[in-house]
Structure 1
């Protein structure tokens, strides 16, 4: 009788780990907010004088979403994205500008094509979901 192998299966690598973890997400979010900081349409949607707190929240959210630490939920609870964005007029033009800055951020980190596509599909869907006013 052959011995039974009781070695546990290795955990599948998370998307978060595969793309480089916190350092990659931090670079993406920093580049994204560098674009937002000078954007005449998007910048007014951020009431804080310093974009740092918004940048940290978005970084923590993306880290958690892609399989990293759950710090976002521990600090803020459920993301409730539409509810949190409801006070801000997110038009199709704002969505497109948001995506413009996010595309620049993804291009800068140069993920492998399949990972870039997965990330881009998520953010384009999320950006569309946030639209709450007509053009």
Structure 2
């Protein structure tokens, strides 16, 4: 059986990035693990430093359960270099090349309105973007 993958993104403002990534991926806030009613209750079971709290993170999930969980955790140090791992947001890939490219550019424009920015456009293939904290990701066509 293959291992399940969760993604964790260090950040300066988990709330800001949670809003962006929920918009980008269609994700929702993940509820705390059962049997806990809140993230605070869940975190209390660990021997964490006194200044650690649920306020320093956000946990997102695919409402259909297909995609990986995304954890956004606040850290004190800033981002200093290009991501070694990035997300590819895949828009549906049906239709001809012009139709696929229209969907890629429309998705990129939607994500700019949500707070992202375009870094580079590879005409007809994909668009390299960044989230509000400068984390790179791509928008490209996916399978039909």
Common fold: TM-score over 0.5: no
Q: If the TM-score is normalised by the length of the shorter chain, which range does it land in?
A: 0.3 to 0.5
Structure with the bigger RCO (C-alpha within 8 Å, sep 6+) is 1
* Greater helix content: 1
More strand by share: 2
